Amino acid sequence: MLLGLNRLQAVNLAFGRGGGDRILAEVARRIVQVLGEELGPRGLVARVSGGEFLIASDAPLSRERWQGVAQVLGRAIARPLRLDSLSPEGGAVGEAVRLLPRIALLRGQPGDSGSSLLDRLDQALVQLQRGAARRLLWADGSHRARARSAALLEADLIGALHRDEIAILYQPQFRVRDGALAGAEALARWEHPTIGRIGAATLFTVAERADQMAPLSQHIAGAAMTGAQGWPEAWRLSLNVTPEDFALPDFAGNLLGRARDAGFAPERLTIEITEQTLIADFAACAQALRQLAGQGVRVALDDFGTGFSNFRTLKALPLDTLKIDRSLVRDVAHDRRDRAILAAMVAMARALSLSVVAEGVETEGQLAVLADEGVDLFQGFLRAGPLAGADMAALARS
């Protein structure tokens, strides 16, 4: 696929070349992150011109799957990019850019040359950039996949929950001070029988459209706890909770019931919430969390530092942990401002008797800073990416 950023020239005019370069670097980072989650090691990214990126994969992907990746990528890049958080010097609060990328797609066939593929993609992208509404375009002129994909995937998902197609993966979490494995965060992938592996972002997008968010979340929770049943007692399991979960009657009671059915002690369970989860009904969410906390379940505030991060949340909820988002960890090894922000977050957590988990740790330099600042746990590709249940069980036996 060929991805183009229509407004890059306007960004350069408004914020200078330095601002434009920071935007490009952040776009590249988001592309790599999405490809890592959706395609694993079989994706390739290259910047081919000022505001254009070429994304390729040699995986045997169907048209529906390739279009699904493009849709996830488009949403990831369309999220606001704040210049004050991207700039090493900092910027004025409120300086944010929202890019709406255009993406041309193509599946190569035997005998296609690289130059012909690029030429067809380029022509399709030019056609897209001349229009105002359409964001995706197949370079072969066919759009059947876009219409089929959504309807079929939504219908397939309902059955997938009963056909055991939702695979549970575990993202290991390690102690910073000694590297010991302390537990894992449960993740999900959809092993679709015809399209292949579908990543978490696409899976939850399809579930939201099909009004299956709560059933999917409940399925993941039950399967993850069953898979973690034989772990050492010191290991904890973290589950992500959605707004749709909290909207269910007696969410806390249902979750505790699933833990009993799985033979998993509530005291070894952590649920991860985001501030977005709490917006619909803060009081009801707080009550459910207190009920869970009363049974020994720990509560972690996820993606801390990227949302409102208001003190009402820290004060009113029975929190045990702050999870620092990967965007605040990425540059701590070489940016003094980022390190200062990290140090302030850890100090606040300590004052509130909260533990701290850092996400997205990829380098030894980042880990050294986390150790110096007193972070408790970390997760990320430096030590391990998401593991299948059998691999976690093998670690538990060893």
Query: Per-residue confidence at 144, pLDDT binned at 50, 70, 90?
Result: very low
State the Cα–Cα distance between residues 226 and 166, nearest whole angstrom: 14
CATH of 150-397, picked from 3.40.50.2300, 3.50.50.60, 3.30.70.20, 3.20.20.450, is 3.20.20.450
Is 70 exceeded by the pLDDT of residue 155?
A: yes
Of all helices (H) and strands (E), which one includes residue 4?
strand 2-4
- pLDDT of res. 234: 94
* Each residue's pLDDT tens digit, 313-353: 788 899 999 999 888 898 999 999 999 999 999 999 999 99
- pLDDT of res. 148: 40
Q: CA 341 → CA 95, 125, 329, 347, distances in Å?
A: 19, 40, 10, 10
Tell me the whole-structure pTM to 2 decimals.
0.69
Enter the DSSP assignment of 325. Answer: P
* Each residue's pLDDT tens digit, 169-204: 999 999 999 999 999 999 999 998 887 778 887 788
- pLDDT of res. 128: 80
- What value, to the nearest 5°, has the Cα angle with vertex 50 and ends 47 and 52? 50
Query: Which phi and psi (to 5°) does residue 43 adopt?
Result: -100, 155
| 2-142 carries CATH number 3.40.1180.10 | no
* Amino acid letter, residue 122: D
- pLDDT of res. 91: 43
Q: CA 71, 205, 81, 272 torsion: positive or negative?
A: negative
When pLDDT is averaged across residues 65-70 and rounded to a whole number, the result is 87
Query: Which phi and psi (to 5°) does residue 300 adopt?
Result: -115, 135
Query: Per-residue confidence at 89, pLDDT binned at 50, 70, 90?
Result: very low
Domain ranges for the chain, please list them.
2-142, 150-397
